[in-house]
């Protein structure tokens, strides 16, 4: 996944080296005999050159979780870890970390798509108004609202499976309720103006 993995452990260096070899990491990325302060120093130095995620499951990891760009508490977690971490992953299956990273990357890609699309629509609408292609306000509002719906639908793809459909239903239901409230408010204001 293009991620540089390092091990920070309070265990003896020999045990950490053996574990690193068993999972395919070089010894240069295996740090044993690490105190909580040592872990904090390693995480801080890594954060200066790259976005750093610290994953920990013990009390000795709390300070390093707090200084990492992203702190992930694994397992039931010590209460101090849960407070220090940005993310809590229940259980001890490391594959959940890869799922978390994949979702984060998909979310960033989706955000960039939505932002680019929104900017393009806004620039197009401004260009069309400035050059006199249309002068009716409702056209711009309609185009903008359709673009908002497309952005919502694109974002809903992140929910996957049945979650996508439920999210889309809730979104359109909320939008319909907002339209009804807007029409009701407009009708009341029109009656007041005539009266």
Question: What confidence tens digit (pLDDT) does each residue in 122-176 have?
Answer: 898 888 888 888 777 778 888 888 888 888 888 888 877 667 777 778 878 888 8
Q: Does 2 fall in a domain?
A: no
Q: Does 99 fall in a domain?
A: no
**What pTM did the predictor assign?**
0.63
Q: Does 150 fall in a domain?
A: yes
Judged against a pLDDT cut of 80, whether residue 92 lies above it is answered with no
Least-confidence region, from 20-24, 29-33, 64-68, 186-190: 186-190
Same domain, yes or no, for 84 and 148?
no
Same domain, yes or no, for 21 and 80?
yes
C-alpha span between 61 and 78 (Å, rounded): 10
C-alpha span between 186 and 194 (Å, rounded): 12
pLDDT, tens digit (0-9, with 9 covering 90-100), for 95-114:
888 888 888 899 999 999 99
Same domain, yes or no, for 180 and 110?
yes
Domain hosting residue 154, numbered range: 105-194
Same domain, yes or no, for 110 and 175?
yes
Structural domain tally of the chain? 2
Average pLDDT over all residues of the chain: 86
Same domain, yes or no, for 58 and 112?
no
Which of 92, 86, 93, 90 has its CA nearest to residue 64?
86
The tokens describing 142, both together, are 């309609």
Q: Of 45, 62, 92, which residue constitutes the final position of a domain?
A: 92
Same domain, yes or no, for 36 and 114?
no
pLDDT number for residue 35: 93
Look up tokens 């197009």; give the residue. 124
Q: Does 169 fall in a domain?
A: yes
Q: Does 52 fall in a domain?
A: yes
CATH number at residue 37: 3.40.50.1000
H-helix segments, 69-160:
79-84, 95-130, 137-156
Same domain, yes or no, for 186 and 159?
yes
């Amino acid at each position: 996944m293009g991620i540089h993995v390092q091990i920070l452990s309070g265990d003896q260096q020999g045990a950490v080296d053996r574990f690193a070899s068993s999972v395919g990491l070089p010894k240069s990325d295996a740090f044993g005999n690490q105190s909580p302060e040592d872990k904090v120093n390693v995480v801080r130095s890594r954060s200066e050159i790259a976005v750093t995620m610290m994953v920990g499951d013990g009390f000795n990891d709390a300070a390093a979780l707090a200084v990492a760009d992203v702190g992930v508490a694994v397992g039931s977690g010590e209460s101090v870890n849960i407070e220090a971490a940005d993310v809590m992953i229940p259980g001890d299956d490391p594959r959940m970390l890869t799922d978390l990273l994949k979702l984060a990357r998909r979310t960033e890609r989706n955000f960039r798509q939505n932002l680019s699309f929104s900017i393009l629509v806004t620039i197009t609408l401004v260009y069309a108004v400035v050059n006199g292609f249309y002068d009716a306000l409702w056209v711009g509002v309609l185009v903008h609202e359709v673009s908002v719906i497309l952005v919502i639908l694109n974002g809903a793809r992140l929910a996957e499976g049945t979650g996508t459909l439920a999210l889309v239903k809730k979104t359109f239901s909320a939008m319909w309720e907002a339209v009804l409230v807007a029409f009701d408010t407009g009708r009341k204001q029109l009656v007041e103006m005539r009266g």
